[in-house]
Amino acid sequence: MEDRNKAGRLELLGMSFMLMFSSIGGLTLGIVFVVALGLVPLYIGVLGLLAIALMTRRFADVHRVWIGRRLGIAIERPYLPLPDIGMHQRIMVMFKDPATWRDHAWLWVNGTVGFTITVTNIALFGGALFQLTMPLWWTLFDIPGEWGMFGITGVMAVDDTTSAAVYGIPTGLVYLGLWWWLGPILLRSYGLLSKVLLGPTTETRLADRVRVLTESRAETVDTQAAEIRRIERDLHDGAQARLVALGMSLGMAEEMIERDPKAAAKLLAEARDNSVAALVELRDLVRGIHPPLLADRGLDGAVRALALNHPADVEVDIALPGRPHAPVESAAYFAIAEALTNSAKYSGAARAWVRVMYVRGQLSMLVGDDGRGGASISPGGGLDGIAKRLSSFDGTLSVRSPLGGPTIVTMDIPCELM
């Protein structure tokens, strides 16, 4: 544990050097931005502002990653999405985005307060190193005059190697203790300060939430319309055609029953076959809308039934303290079903697994296989359809599928259990 703590503090020390130099670069970028702002009446000033704004976003993104990885403080990107086309529209959206101006405010705060924080951490370590090695300096070099403890002349004066050891080492240990204690606190305060300016505000989160829900609602409407068209097509091409043939067979049998009973019996047999086929197709259609097994036995029973029909050996582990509400349960079932279908079609897996659990207010589903990998979310694909289905419930989907496998599809839906 001690070695890990020491390594962590030395890593923070290295990060302090990195942040110190980057804060100087960021401050330079802020100064150039102010100069470009003064040149806005000239066209070159507008282009300069755009270039600097893009550079600042990239600069801020790098710091978000650093702070997230090194300090464990996650900072989300707060920017509004830029339009795909139109330079003028992109410029207008960028400069109307409050996050753009917060980034530039952060450049100045980072170049002053952030610089001070990182330099303090470096200075504490440097002071400790200098004081602890003071006897070495007195031995190697003929240092004239008197040195005082904590740099105060006349206080515990140091004028030879012995006094340097007596007074320098305790002073160095004090500095080292301060650095050991304050280093993580200083760097964490730097991360939290950066998060205030680089992260999304409550208003930004709300606006982004409204945008996501608006897009999700539009996609849900489109998906529902497509589903209705599919049901209509399946009824028209399947059960309806069977029932029409059934009616025709019965009508012809009615006409022929007296003059040709054998032919009528044959037509009745065809009618019976058509009625059975129509019933099977209607059951399949109903199962595609909301499987009766899901309503009767819940997600556990329905998913286990899916696993039995999968070509690979599927391990199912579902641990839920209750049942989700019906719409969420249905969405979860079809998401798992589509993920298993994709696995069967494309992965070539010998083994697959399904994990479903309820963690911190979220229905968490994991579908994986040991197939060839390489799966991705492509527009119009099966995984994209799952993502759109889940987005209606504020759900998320992520895929990890390196070439050679394994493929792991993770899906989460925030919900309450009954």
Residues 6 or more apart in contact with residue 322 via CB below 8 angstroms? 358, 417, 418
What is the domain extent for residue 222?
211-289
Mean pLDDT within 68-74:
86
Instruction: Give a yes or no: residue 317 inside a domain.
Output: yes
Q: pLDDT tens digit string along 20-53?
A: 999 999 999 888 888 877 776 776 667 777 788 8
Q: Is the pLDDT of residue 376 over 60?
A: yes
Q: Is the pLDDT of residue 381 over 50?
A: yes
Please give the share of the chain, as a percent, with pLDDT higher than 70.
76
CA-nearest of 235, 253, 233 to 243 is 235
pLDDT winner (highest mean) among 140-149, 162-171, 393-402: 393-402
- Among 254, 270, 289, identify where a domain stops: 289
- What are the tokens at 115? 């610089």
Q: In terms of domains, do 162 and 189 share one?
A: yes
Total of domains in the chain: 3
Q: In terms of domains, do 356 and 383 share one?
A: yes
Q: What pLDDT sits at residue 21?
A: 93
Least confident of 21-30, 118-127, 223-232: 223-232
**φ, ψ for residue 381, nearest 5 deg:** -80, 175
Q: What pLDDT sits at residue 295?
A: 77
Instruction: Give a yes or no: residue 372 inside a domain.
Output: yes
How far apart are the two ends of the chain, measured CA to CA in Å? Answer: 44
Q: CATH number of the domain that 349 lies in?
A: 3.30.565.10
Q: Is the pLDDT of residue 158 over 60?
A: no
- Helix axis angle, 326-342 to 292-308, nearest 10°: 20
CA-nearest of 393, 318, 383 to 355 is 318
Instruction: Give a yes or no: residue 383 inside a domain.
Output: yes
Q: How confident is the model at residue 300 (pLDDT cuts 50, 70, 90)?
A: confident
Q: In terms of domains, do 189 and 229 share one?
A: no
Name the residue with tokens 């022929």: 256
- Alpha carbon distance 206, 213 (integer Å): 10
- Among 248, 271, 289, identify where a domain stops: 289
| Strands annotated E in 1-114 | none
Residue 96: CB atoms within 10 A of its CB come to 10
Q: In terms of domains, do 285 and 362 share one?
A: no
Element (H, E) at 364: strand 362-369
Q: In terms of domains, do 375 and 410 share one?
A: yes
Q: Is the pLDDT of residue 228 over 50?
A: yes
Distances (CA, A) of 112 to 20, 27, 183: 10, 8, 18
Residues 6 or more apart in contact with residue 61 via CB below 8 angstroms? 77
DSSP tag of 400: E
**φ, ψ for residue 378, nearest 5 deg:** -115, 145
Q: In terms of domains, do 266 and 118 share one?
A: no
Instruction: Quote the distance between the C-alpha of residue 83 and its chain's center.
Output: 22
- Among 289, 324, 346, identify where a domain stops: 289
Q: In terms of domains, do 282 and 302 share one?
A: no
Least confident of 82-86, 146-150, 211-215, 380-384: 146-150
DSSP for 129-145 reads HHHHTHHHHHHHS---S
Q: What pLDDT sits at residue 155?
A: 42
Q: CATH number of the domain that 284 lies in?
A: 1.20.5
- Alpha carbon distance 183, 176 (integer Å): 10
Q: How confident is the model at residue 148 (pLDDT cuts 50, 70, 90)?
A: very low
Helices marked H in 239-391:
240-256, 261-289, 292-308, 326-342, 382-391
Q: In terms of domains, do 261 and 296 share one?
A: no
